[in-house]
Amino acid sequence: MPGSPAAADVHLPSVPPPREELWRPFIPARLGAVVLIAVVAIVFSLGFLILNGSLERLVWAENVLLVNRWMIPILVVLFSLVVGLSRRHLRAPSAIDAGFVEMVRGDGESGDYRQFPGAFVSSLASLLSGASIGPEGVLGVLVSEISAFLRPYLRIPKSAASGFDLAALASAFNGLIGGVLFTGVFATELQSGRAKSPLQCLVWNLIAGAVGFLVFRATGFQAFAEMIPFPPAGLTAALAVVAVLCGVLATVIAIAIGAWLQVAEKAMDRIFGERVVLRVVGAGLVIGLVCYVFPDLLFSGENQIHDFIADPAFYGAALLLLLAVLKIALFGISIKAGYIGGPVFPIIFACTLIGLALNLLVPGIPAGVFVLCIEAGAIAVALGAPLTAILLVSIMSGADQDMVVLLVLSIATALLLSAEAMKRIEARRATGVGGAAAGTR
């Protein structure tokens, strides 16, 4: 009988709802708001990139970099002072306490759009200062705060806030990278399971990314697609082994960058404490002096990288490796000082130089295999987003299917090694804490 204990103990297998039921609740709902935030995000991103490019050409003219190099430290410190003052007086955010993913996501999780004026000034000054930061972090901060501001007016519930913000980022990042599929995968992987409906998040990201791609293409603005093209390398057993070894090296690079960020943060906290202006200006002085000697290390490196790819032999393997290490060092100093920016382009720059140096040392292996496999592995470990790393490197290099296979081998190796390394690091930390606790008893 229905009410009997025996009937209550019967567990019938659950029947999943039809596919139409999974899509029906959210496909018609709020699509207009998603399209609107996608248009707002891409239009703002285009305007910001145009403004930054115009100011950069005006301030950093060729005579500064080639003739009057003594102005490099002065300009870096000047814009660093603006960053520090905007943090102190305009409540500008920073990425000092952020991990790699948080640097890219921006400040959307907090939803404090009142920081936007300070964030705008600090972002522009950060990019113009020549610090080693990527523009993706700047767009992440600004677009997320615009999205947070518009959410109440578009009646986006709190449960959908993260997905809505990621749709805005999808449109902006699509414009920056120039790949319609990349944005949906990137933003979806960045959600890290936060959304209650991953399928809804994916649909929103794909729609917003398509809108951003179409608007960006219509303007003719230069994206980063095929920024670092390499000729096809083919697919052989030897290259597969090289890809695996590149994954090992990429793991070391990503973990080293993460460790350096922690060291830089602790050192700056100890030296400067709460003196936020002095912290940024001090970092600017270091950046300016290093870039006075090596002007190619200014900015994120997306423009300077072409000269290295065109003629790596002109620099030599030793200098390429030195510049890669310095780029990573300046990236850590920049982020932990309080500049706003992202990690992707500095990592790409450093990995590219390391790959070119390896090609000079082992000329029998195509440079593209070294460069792209190291880039993909390092980005996958840093962001914890393997599909994003594959798409990003593929879009920026125009990789063929053979190269994609090598990228997969490198990324798989890097993820396996990094997971094992993190287990051992956590185990050592737990042992250290336990030992300390035992010693105090």
Q: What is the DSSP string of 391-428?
A: HHHHHHHT--HHHHHHHHHHHHHHHHHHHHHHHHHHHH
Rounded Cα–Cα distance for residues 104 and 91 (Å): 19
CB-CB contact of 140 with 175 (8 Å): no
Phi, psi of 323 (to 5 degrees): -65, -35
Helix 344-361 vs helix 135-150: angle between axes, to the nearest 10 degrees?
Answer: 160
pLDDT at 22: 42
Going by C-alpha positions, the residue among 319, 295, 349 that lies closest to residue 133 is 349
- Rounded Cα gap, residues 335 and 337, in angstroms: 5
The pLDDT, as a whole number, for residue 310 is 92
Domain 237-427 carries which CATH code? Answer: 1.10.3080.10
Measured CA to CA, the distance from residue 97 to residue 94 in angstroms comes to 8
d(CA 166, CA 204): 8
Question: Could you tell me which residues are beta bridge partners of residue 134?
Answer: 342
**Do the beta carbons of residue 147 and residue 188 sit within 8 Å?**
no
Residue 178 has what pLDDT? 77
Q: Where exactly are the structural domains of the chain?
A: 30-219, 237-427
- C-alpha 235/C-alpha 161 separation (Å) is 44
Give pLDDT, residue 129: 95
Please say whether the dihedral angle defined by the alpha carbons of residues 274, 97, 346 and 211, taken in this order, is positive or negative: negative
- Rounded to whole angstroms, what are the CA distances from 316 to 168, 297, 313, 359, 373? 42, 16, 5, 10, 21
Alpha-carbon distance of 57 to 299, in angstroms, equals 13
How many angstroms separate the CA atoms of 268 and 334, rounded? 11
Contact present, 110 and 318 (Cβ < 8 Å): no
Q: Which residues contact 431 (CB under 8 A, 6 or more apart)?
A: none
DSSP, collapsed to helix, strand or coil, labels residue 342 as strand
List b or e across 82-97, with b for residues whose CB sees 16 or more CB atoms inside 10 angstroms.
Answer: bbbbbbbeeebbbbbe
**Contact, 334 vs 98, CB < 8 A?**
no
The answer to whether the CB of 339 falls within 8 A of the CB of 280 is: yes
Residue 134 phi/psi, 5° resolution?
A: -95, 150
User: At 246, is the secondary structure helix, strand, or coil?
Assistant: helix
Indicate the pTM of the whole model. Answer: 0.87
SS3 content of the chain, % helix, strand, coil (to 5): 75, 0, 25
CA 85/CA 105 separation, integer angstroms: 24
pLDDT at 198: 65
Tens of pLDDT along the chain (441 residues) come to 444 444 444 444 444 544 444 444 444 457 889 999 999 999 999 999 999 999 999 999 877 777 888 999 999 999 999 999 999 999 899 888 888 878 877 654 445 667 899 999 999 999 999 999 999 899 989 999 999 899 989 888 887 888 888 889 889 888 778 777 777 777 667 665 555 566 777 888 889 989 988 888 888 777 676 788 898 898 999 999 999 999 999 999 999 999 999 999 999 999 998 899 999 999 999 999 999 999 999 998 888 898 999 999 999 999 999 999 999 999 999 999 999 999 999 999 999 999 999 999 999 999 999 999 999 999 999 998 899 899 999 988 988 999 999 999 999 999 999 998 888 888 887 776 444 333 333
Res 217: pLDDT: 81
Burial 294-331 (b: 16+ CB within 10 A, else e): ebbbbbbbbebbeebbeebeebebeebbebbebbbbbb
DSSP symbol at 335: H
CB atoms under 10 Å from CB of 410, counted, come to 33
What local confidence, expressed as pLDDT, does residue 379 receive? 95
Q: How far apart are CA 310 and CA 312, in angstroms?
A: 6
Show the tokens assigned to 371. 């460069």
